[in-house]
Amino acid sequence: MLVLVAPGQGAQTPGFLTPWLELPGASDRIAAWSDAIGLDLAHYGTKADADEIRDTSVAQPLLVAAGLLSASALGDLTPGAVAGHSVGEITAAVFAGVLGDTAALGFVRTRGLAMAEAAAVTRTGMSALLGGEPDVTVPHLEKLGLTPANVNGAGQIVAAGTMEQLAALEADKPEGVRRVVALKVAGAFHTQHMAPAVDKLDAAAKSLAVADPKVAYVSNRDGRTVSAGDEIVSRLVGQVANPVRWDLCMETFKELGVTALLEVCPGGTLTGLAKRALPGVKTLALKTPDDLDAARALVAAETSAADAAGAV
């Protein structure tokens, strides 16, 4: 079974959208989305520097647009399941047919602006902890007043809180943690610091046209599959102030019988986690259009295997 996944904030790099805009129709599509949400996606994806695309209100719609654009370049695709990490859940909602692409980009634009506003209240951030065990790391973070905002599996937890709390973590790492790496994000996402953004997202969600998912949608909240579109959108609203449990998502992939995982642009982060947590599962990350042929071959092989299994 093929799982299609979308990365979250921090995966963006300067100029990463440039080669994708050379594909037929890509520039027109990005221009239409840019007009719809009032943000020049082409500029930010090709010419902006690292600081500009670190801005939450820019990074989030840029990531969703890149994910949708890269997936569409694969042609018709029906994965066995979809999931996204943090803002990638909105990309995944489009893959599942829950939201239309333009509506999703409008929603994520609201999300990015609301979260940026919430982040401006207090200087906060996020840091990845490499190594360690959750039963040791989590109590240590809580002792420092930090939130385990992303529990990513494969030995990685992301802590979130004030800059002072993160500095204390640098000086006092949990037992077994090898490194603490500051992430390219502008706030303590998935914590109580983002609570002000929830009401704004809830208001925006009321105008969305929502459908039930056409494929299994695996939620960050608890790793469960969600079969009702309204519940998926409700989870997207609350998700900004609640931890991401990507470890539980990967456990569900196992239960569903995952054999291959394909990560849309800017891919790499989630395939890296899968290589460690899902041994034996084929993985492929879409980084540039040069990866499309290999991705199409992977999709074709998985489709053939699924068809053969269904015929038995």
What CATH number did the domain enclosing 37 receive? Answer: 3.40.366.10
Q: Please report, rounded to a whole number, the percentage of residues in the chain having pLDDT higher than 90.
A: 91
Question: What is the reported pTM?
Answer: 0.94
Are residues 110 and 128 located together in one domain of the fold?
no
Name which of 267, 242, 285, 58 is nearest 150 in CA terms.
242
Residue 21 pLDDT greater than 60, yes or no: yes
CA distance 232 to 213: 9
Spatial contact of 265 and 67, defined as CB atoms under 8 Å apart: yes
**CA pair distance 308, 152, nearest whole angstrom:** 33
Among the listed residues 86, 140, 193, 219, the single catalytic one is 86
Check whether the bond before 7 is cis (ω within 30° of 0): no
CA distance 268 to 109: 24
190 in active site: yes
Residue 207 sits in the same domain as residue 77: yes
Last residue of a domain, one of 161, 182, 203: 182
Q: How far, in Å, CA of 225 to CA of 207, rounded? A: 24
Domain end point (choices 149, 182, 215): 182
| Residue 23 shares a structural domain with residue 167 | no
> Of the listed 70, 190, 193, 219, which one is catalytic?
190
CB 98 within 8 A of CB 271: no
Mean pLDDT of 233-239: 97
Q: Are residues 162 and 237 in the same domain?
A: no
**Rg, Å, the chain Cα set:** 19
Amino acid at residue number 284? L
Give catalytic status of residue 86 as yes or no: yes
Same domain, 146 and 158: yes
Bridge partners, 128 (sequence order): 158, 181
Is 94 in the same domain as 226? yes
- The domain spanning residue 156 has which CATH number? 3.30.70.250
Asked if 303 and 208 sit in the same domain, the reply is yes
Query: What residues form DSSP beta bridges with 160?
Result: 126, 147
Domain boundary among the residues 182, 199, 218 is at 182
Q: Identify the pLDDT of residue 183.
A: 86
d(CA 312, CA 309): 5
Over residues 64-89, the pLDDT tens digits come to: 999 999 999 999 899 999 999 999 99
Structural domains counted in the chain: 2
Same domain, 73 and 166: no
Q: Are residues 206 and 92 in the same domain?
A: yes
Q: In degrees to the nearest 10, what's the CA dihedral of 2, 18, 48, 95?
A: -30
The pLDDT assigned to 310 comes to: 62
The CA-CA-CA angle for residues 29, 33, 34, to 5°, reads 115
**Cβ atoms 243, 226 nearer than 8 A:** no
Same domain for 213 and 178: no
Rounded CA gap, 198 and 238, in Å? 6
Asked if 110 and 13 sit in the same domain, the reply is: yes
pLDDT at 307: 75
Q: Domain span at residue 131?
A: 124-182
- Rounded mean pLDDT of 189-197? 94
Same-domain status, 197 and 294? yes
